[in-house]
Copies of this chain bind each other. A is one copy, B any other.
Amino acid sequence: MSEKEEFTEEVEELKDLETEAEEKAEAVSEIEKLTTERDQFEDQFLRARAEIANITNRNRNEREQLQKYRSQDLAKKLLSSIDNLERALQTEVQDEQGASLKKGVEMVLEGLLAALKEEGVEEIPAAKGDAYDPNVHHGVQIVPATEDLPADTIVEVFQKGYRLHDRVLRPSMVIVAQ
């Protein structure tokens, strides 16, 4: 091998070395880029999976609440019908037709209250002497407390109150001692 040939060969080898080094640098940069991308997608995937769990739980709760309180609006609107039926039942009737009509009104009232009860609507307990609870009773008048009816007890119930499960549809309207 001539000196020139040797030199040429050495230059070729060095060029190869340079190419390899360049390619290696490119590979390192590609690895860095891919690692970043992979980590980003993994992070986005994990966040999305967490969001799915959150959405699913939130929706289940919302559905349960909607189901539990679904009758709220209609039930609220029925309360005045119940008041009217109870008022009608106060009427003193004289003849058979009146008695038959009253019997019909009683049946309707029972039917309404039964339907409401099945949906979770119940009368709020309130009677003379009961403790006044501002969460479910609404004081419309205050009278001085006595020995029998001390402060914060119910003296009289003006209008029945109703609740749907734990929600007050309408508070009991009461006179309260103070």
Residues of A with Cβ closer than 8 Å to B?
10, 13-14, 16-17, 20-21, 23-24, 27-28, 30-31, 34-35, 37-38, 41-42, 44-45, 48-49, 51-52, 55-56, 59, 62-63, 66-67, 70-71, 73-75, 77-78, 80-81, 84-85, 87-88, 91-95, 97-98, 100-102, 104-105, 107-108, 111-112, 114-116, 118-119
Q: Are B78 and A104 in contact (CB under 8 A)?
A: no
Q: Which 9 A-B pairs have the closest CB atoms?
A: A88-B104, A27-B27, A48-B48, A41-B41, A77-B115, A70-B70, A34-B34, A20-B20, A38-B38
Checking B17, B78, B119 against A20 with a beta-carbon cut-off of 8 angstroms, the contacting residue is: B17
Secondary structure type dominating chain A contacts? helix
* Contact for A115 among B16, B48, B49, B78, CB less than 8 A: B78
Return 26 A-B CB contacts under 8 Å, by A number. A24-B24, A27-B27, A30-B31, A34-B38, A41-B41, A41-B42, A45-B45, A48-B49, A48-B52, A51-B52, A55-B55, A55-B56, A66-B66, A66-B67, A71-B73, A73-B118, A74-B116, A74-B119, A78-B111, A80-B111, A81-B108, A84-B111, A91-B104, A93-B97, A94-B97, A104-B105
